Amino acid sequence: MLSIYKNDCKFINVPLSAYEFTIGNDQVIENYLRVRKGRGLRINEIKHFEKVIRVIEHMIEIQDLLSVYCLFTLYDLIW
């Protein structure tokens, strides 16, 4: 778990896997914060950022489930 700082805001217990999650070549969380560099976050942006982290966590869980499903499907095709 990480703590992420953005100006006066501190986001604690951010999973490393969520922080490192990429779409294409972009780290989603890092890119989100970089775009907002030099300005504070409003309350609605803070809540949105927290939702983004939760959505990324769910996406990682879904990817893991799909990987297992595809592995079993491939195994069934081979045997």
Domain boundaries, the chain: 2-78
Q: Report the chain's mean pLDDT, rounded to a whole number.
A: 85
* CA–CA separation, 27 and 79 (whole Å): 38
- pLDDT at residue 75 greater than cutoff 70: no
- pLDDT at residue 55 greater than cutoff 90: yes
For residue 3, give the 3-state DSSP assignment. strand
- pLDDT at residue 59 greater than cutoff 90: yes
Question: Mean pLDDT throughout 25-48?
Answer: 88
